[in-house]
Amino acid sequence: GWGAAYGGLNGSLLKLKLAEGNRDTPFVSGKVDLAGAELLYDGPSGIDDNTSMLLSVRHHDFGRLLDLIGAKDVGRPVMTDVLLKTVTRIDEDTKLKVIGIFAPEKNTRDTSHVVEAEAPLDYMLFESKQDAGALGVTLEQLVGDTGEWRNTVYYRFGKENTYQGEAFPELSDSPKDPDAIPVEERIISSREDEKEFGWRSDYSQDNRFGRFQAGLRLT
């Protein structure tokens, strides 16, 4: 998920934060396993000396892993997420942060999974596709000795299409042949589409009584 500054409610509960990256030393790592692959870059942007960049790309196809552990009837969930964050130090008191997230997901269960099911009535078919993402720009400014003013504008979206159907192996002469099983693919279908634009302004300052905070949210 992403933080509350970008419309993610879980971020306000968990106080999730992303590393700012470093402007001095590039760091690259990668990982490949049975489920998929990951790539991470953390370092200078290569465009501006005062800008750091954090790039994370992950792709996982859990269908191969489920086949390996003998859970061939579950389905095939595939997940990808791309995250890019840049931090630019404009001057000693001002930072500009940009964050972009794109996270598509797809999960399918077809007749090739039905024929592997041990439960005789587990004939459900489904296809679910979800796209989610966010783009946010934050300007952080130090005010005086102890004050900080942060302004964020963001856009986020979520879109999901889900279809549910049923297979009928008992009506087939070859119930173990996925191509020979009659199906009704879309008995139930649903669609969700959500978009949000927002501006968040927060001001905080330490004083002899503690800390003063004030803010404004427009969505």
Burial of 6 (0-12, 13-18, 19+ CB in 10 A): buried
What integer pLDDT is reported at residue 6 of this predicted model? 60
**pLDDT class of 5 with cuts at 50, 70, 90:** low
CA 59 to CA 36: how far, in whole Å?
A: 6
- What is the token pair recorded at 64? 């191969």
* Strand-by-strand arrangement of the 183-207 sheet: 27-32, 36-44, 51-61, 76-91, 94-109, 124-143, 147-167, 183-207, 210-218
Residue 17 Cα to chain centre, angstroms: 14
pLDDT tens, 30-58?
999 988 999 999 999 988 889 999 999 99
Q: Over pLDDT 90: what percentage of the chain? A: 62
**pLDDT class of 65 with cuts at 50, 70, 90:** confident
Least confident of 17-21, 69-73, 98-102, 109-113: 17-21
Q: Is pLDDT larger for residue 176 or for residue 11? A: 176
Q: Is pLDDT larger for residue 106 or for residue 171? A: 106
**pLDDT class of 20 with cuts at 50, 70, 90:** confident
CA 159 to CA 139: how far, in whole Å?
A: 28
CA distances from 108 to 64, 171, 185 (A): 13, 22, 12
What integer pLDDT is reported at residue 175 of this predicted model? 83
Mean pLDDT for the stretch of residues 165-189: 90
What integer pLDDT is reported at residue 10 of this predicted model? 62
What integer pLDDT is reported at residue 16 of this predicted model? 57
Residue 197 Cα to chain centre, angstroms: 18
CA 17 to CA 38: how far, in whole Å?
A: 20
How many of the other CB atoms lie within 10 Å of CB of 172?
18
**pLDDT class of 166 with cuts at 50, 70, 90:** very high
How many of the other CB atoms lie within 10 Å of CB of 7?
23
pLDDT tens, 82-94?
999 999 999 999 9
Mean pLDDT of the chain: 89
Alpha-carbon Rg for the chain, nearest whole angstrom, is: 24
**pLDDT class of 14 with cuts at 50, 70, 90:** low
H or E element: which one contains 147? strand 147-167
Phi then psi for residue 118, to 5 deg, are: -80, -35
